[in-house]
Structure 1
């Protein structure tokens, strides 16, 4: 059995990765490179953690392209998907000791007559593959419909869309083979749910790019357990539909009032307060917004750097204090009775007092709820972009704060 645990990172904390592990993570697709700007974006930490968990569970090698991550842009935001190749799925099935092969793919145009070789210039309506398992008496068949998986591109003339669509280059050239792979993945996932549940191949997920409005049929409908423990549909079409519904809800949410970042920066008197403000600007995607700070026009991110440099020059060295007994405080109880500004001050006080990360996180959730600011996906990992100016500050920050990957300033 080929193991990936020696090559892949064992933690999702980027600060603990060596150069070899960083290169492997990038090869696995967890680092997206913008084709126009060349800017690299690391996947959010939950995506990295989920990818490492899938690699550990399936024992698949990302360097052999048995498992990988793909980022697709949707309305300016990156959406990350963990996918496996058909060879990776077969390998997982074989390692189970129950895999006994599969039937030859078959195709049909009417659902009645099936053939193993598709010679017509028109695409088949469906493909089916049966997976054999030693504990099964009969093959387990799965059927994939052309309309549910084929990718279509818009037809353009004179720089305009004609309203017509045609199969993409890959599906036009190798449509039957692509559809057979989809059917095989469906059958493998049904036959080996313990090992392959929630994992999809690129052939199944190509329509995620939005080229085709997905359709769903009873033969391709699958159920699974969602993040809240509820039973949800896990067929690729349903997954994409849910993602689009979520994007529509975010797009239709009322816009938050514009924030006066310069005024908030003027009120910050210490690095803890500045760190909190940095994370707020990062979360709502305000780094590139123009602002006039100390009489100079600049971006919010540049103003934050400038404010940090000024605070570091005026902050006295940290003097180690003698340990004192402090009566435990019920931070959450205090926070529930406060407004947004009071809660912001309480968060800074709790962080300074060394409150548990879970408690501080819940206080920040209260603050975001009171501030009525919709969260922006992907606004994280600023400290992983190769800029280390926030590291190595004077001894005003204790070692635990500097080492915390969630802390940026």
Structure 2
């Protein structure tokens, strides 16, 4: 381990942040609960995430900030659009904003339209936003191009007007209020960010989504879960309850126990007795079966 790695680990051990609602954001909590994607975050990436949350007073437990990591690509730290809007409204210099889309008409005319409505025959080419700030002679304006932001994900295909307008809004707000929004980016602005981010509040101490997926994968191999019928978890619930655990409220430190129990579990084979029967007619005319 080199000097830089030692320094990172030392800084990481000291990096903790208490949110306004009382939760403690630590490196262990980030790694266990707050990473989106399938990659393993580095100590430096975790440290940067904690420090940004601390500096900007973000609460990742209520999904104000996300740490995203796929494979070996660099991690991304993104913030929900609602955070940008809430921070702007809290600033005493904020005096409102206007936002919309930029379209090219059939005649080749470029128009800036407020809102997200595109008429048939028009081509969407971008988004715009104007933020009004007290004592500023002109509004802070952002004009963004669709081709620089559009991704091939479902939301961009289904709602391109909404998405490019959102990119324009967060860009303009960040420029208008750098002290409140510096270093913060919405997922729509980042190329390799997932299309949809988890919105549920994080419950520390309980099994993570990734852990539960691992449990259900092993359960399917043991015949206790069927991916063809994903809503039916009754067999797995019964298995957990028979061992004194609750699948829906599974704790973080109970995951390894359940995985160990599953690995040792052997499905019971149904015993089928192949027997031939023959009819026997009694003296009184009744018919019985005899092996």
Give the structure 2 partner of residue 29 of structure 1. 35
In the alignment, which of 43, 46, 52 is matched to residue 45 of structure 1?
43
Give the structure 1 partner of residue 140 of structure 2. 140
Give the structure 2 partner of residue 105 of structure 1. 100
Give the conservation status (yes or no) of the 8 Å contact 2:102–2:110: no
Q: Alpha carbons of 1:209 and 1:65: their partners in 2 closer, same or farther (altered >3 Å)?
A: closer
Give the structure 1 partner of residue 87 of structure 2. 92
Structure 2 Cα separation of the partners of residues 132 and 8 of structure 1: 36
SS in 1 for 2:102: strand
- String of CA shifts for 1:363-400, please: whole Å, max 9, x gaps: xxxxxxxxxxxxxxxxxxxxxxx99xxxxxxxxxxxxx
- Over the aligned positions, Cα root-mean-square deviation in angstroms equals 3.0
Q: TM-score of the superposition, structure 1-length normalised?
A: 0.38
- The 5 A counterparts of 1:59-208 are 59-73=57-71, 77-109=72-104, 112-116=110-114, 117-120=117-120, 123-152=123-152, 168-205=153-190, 207-208=191-192
Structure 2 Cα separation of the partners of residues 104 and 58 of structure 1: 25
Structure 1 Cα separation of the partners of residues 167 and 109 of structure 2: 17
Instruction: Give the drift of 1:63.
Output: 2.5
- The 5 A counterparts of 1:247-326 are none
Structure 1 Cα separation of the partners of residues 127 and 113 of structure 2: 9
Structure 1 Cα separation of the partners of residues 76 and 150 of structure 2: 19
Structure 2 Cα separation of the partners of residues 194 and 180 of structure 1: 23
Give the conservation status (yes or no) of the 8 Å contact 2:101–2:124: no
In the alignment, which of 13, 17, 22 is matched to residue 6 of structure 1?
22
Structure 1 Cα separation of the partners of residues 123 and 43 of structure 2: 41
Q: Alpha carbons of 1:99 and 1:148: their partners in 2 closer, same or farther (altered >3 Å)?
A: same
Structure 2 Cα separation of the partners of residues 209 and 61 of structure 1: 19
Structure 2 Cα separation of the partners of residues 150 and 52 of structure 1: 29
Structure 2 Cα separation of the partners of residues 44 and 176 of structure 1: 36
Structure 2 Cα separation of the partners of residues 60 and 123 of structure 1: 37
- The 5 A counterparts of 1:381-396 are none
Give the conservation status (yes or no) of the 8 Å contact 1:102–1:131: yes
Give the conservation status (yes or no) of the 8 Å contact 1:107–1:118: no
Instruction: Give the drift of 1:122.
Output: 5.5
Q: TM-score of the superposition, structure 2-length normalised?
A: 0.52
Structure 1 Cα separation of the partners of residues 121 and 33 of structure 2: 38
Query: What stretches of structure 1 of length at least 5 have no aligned partner?
Result: 15-21, 35-40, 153-167, 211-385, 388-409
Structure 2 Cα separation of the partners of residues 70 and 85 of structure 1: 13
Instruction: Give the drift of 1:186.
Output: 0.9
Give the conservation status (yes or no) of the 8 Å contact 1:149–1:179: yes
Instruction: Give the drift of 1:66.
Output: 1.7
Instruction: Give the drift of 1:84.
Output: 0.5
Instruction: Give the drift of 1:49.
Output: 1.7
Give the conservation status (yes or no) of the 8 Å contact 1:4–1:55: no
Instruction: Give the drift of 1:71.
Output: 0.9
Instruction: Give the drift of 1:128.
Output: 0.4
SS in 2 for 1:124: strand
Structure 1 Cα separation of the partners of residues 109 and 182 of structure 2: 27
SS in 1 for 2:184: coil
